[in-house]
Structure 1
Amino acid sequence: MDQLDTLWSEREIRAVLQRYCRGLDRLDEELAASAYHEDAHDDRGVIRGNAHDFIKQIVPVLRDAYTGTLHTLHGTTIEIDGDAAGVETYCTAYHYRESDGTKRVEQYAGRYVDRFERRDGAWKIARRLVLIDWSLVQEVPLDPAEAQAGFNPSRRDRSDASYQVLPLQGPDAPTL
């Protein structure tokens, strides 16, 4: 593998990781699932099995149980060997919910430990192990509507403003 192929592969792998997070936060099942090969395995400890089945299960949970989520990626280590790559990505997920009249933010910090494979020229996740390093639940003392007053609102579906500029290619590409 030459240096240009290595750099391009690393870029594609990072794009897959971002697409997964964006798909979860926008409750876009198709986008989140596009990060995985059809036969991919996902292991979160409490949930193990086909990754596409996991996406079909988790998106409705995120929609129904939480008012908002934010998945962020931090340092990523990528080691490529031909058409396979070992990838470790530090991540933090924030989940906002209200229950019993109390507003809470749940924070999960951990790592995605992935085996990526390039099949038919496309890098996607073949196996994922999710490791939790720590978690924290905090009550939110300020009314979120007050804190967000005057800001542009985010949407948790395809009406979100980001869909006006993404994707930039293909039949669904917006006209800028």
Structure 2
Amino acid sequence: MNSNDTMPAQNRRQGLRSLLALPVGLAAAGAVAGNAAAKTDKDVLSRLDRLESQHQISELLLAYARANDRFDEAALRACFWPESTHKHGGFDGTSTAFVDFALKIVQPLKYTAHHISNVSVEVDGDRGFSECYYLAQHRRTAKSGEGEEDAFFQGRYIDRHERRNGVWKIIQRRGISDLSFVLPATKPYADWPAGQHSMRAPDDPYYQLRALFQSGR
């Protein structure tokens, strides 16, 4: 057998080895691609979960403000887990006790408005951390006993959150007070025409219009 007869045989053997190796190579490439796709899917789901969690926590902070302003006790308590702790101003205890404390302050007021801004939320699995600024207005009877006055308060809420069974609530709140001042009111709250000002739960238009929305109307 001469060298010319050997070369085709060698080529055939090399080609056979290549064909036999092809499925293994394809399987390996497929496994790499599959792993990359799975990692991409996992990363996307993780980002989506983080964004959804940040949104839910932001909505929770707004719900707290609404519950205060509408004097909605059930909605206010729903913002906190039962064992949540609370420290704000001279108060240091459980959030449950703080709600009792806050409702006593808000109850005699003629009007309140709590504005939430500068919301920043971090999420790590089922744990959350947030900071937001608040600006609160309390319309009340003037301490002089004559007319009404507006008390303004500004500060921050620094909160830890936990997610349980898909629900985010506050597990620890630290309230910071940075500014307060009082201005005399130019017009008594009762002098506003009926139906033109905010009311408390369940009479405020928020509850009525939301009920219509939820019913599909």
Take 1:14 and 1:105, find their aligned partners in 2: how far apart are those partners? 27
Give the Å deviation of 1:142: 3.1
In structure 1, the residue matched to 2:89 is: 45
**Of the two, which has the highest radius of gyration?**
2
In structure 2, the residue matched to 1:163 is: 207
Scaled by the length of structure 2, the TM-score of the pair is 0.72
In structure 1, the residue matched to 2:7 is: none
Give the Å deviation of 1:116: 0.8
Identity fraction in percent = 29
Take 1:119 and 1:130, find their aligned partners in 2: how far apart are those partners? 23
In structure 2, the residue matched to 1:133 is: 178
CA, structure 1 residues 50+8, in 2 after alignment: closer, same or farther (shift >3 Å)?
same
CA, structure 1 residues 168+17, in 2 after alignment: closer, same or farther (shift >3 Å)?
farther
What are structure 1's unaligned runs of at least 5 residues? none
- Once the two structures are superposed, residues 77-133 of structure 1 have per-residue CA deviations (whole angstroms, 9 ceiling, x without a partner) of 111111111100011010000130131111111000000111121111000000012
Is residue 73 from structure 1 mapped to residue 116 from structure 2 by the alignment? yes
Q: How does 1:1-176 map to 2 (within 5 A)?
A: 2-64=46-108, 66-99=109-142, 100-146=145-191, 148-149=192-193, 152-166=196-210, 173-174=214-215, 176=217
2:55 match: secondary structure:
helix
User: Could you say what the CA RMSD is over the residues aligned between the two structures, in angstroms?
Assistant: 2.0
Off by >4 Å, runs of 4+ in structure 1: none
CA, structure 1 residues 59+174, in 2 after alignment: closer, same or farther (shift >3 Å)?
farther
CA, structure 1 residues 103+23, in 2 after alignment: closer, same or farther (shift >3 Å)?
same
CA, structure 1 residues 129+79, in 2 after alignment: closer, same or farther (shift >3 Å)?
same
Aligned residues: 171
Indicate conservation of the 8 Å contact 2:58/2:121, yes or no. no
Take 1:102 and 1:155, find their aligned partners in 2: how far apart are those partners? 20
Take 1:63 and 1:174, find their aligned partners in 2: how far apart are those partners? 31
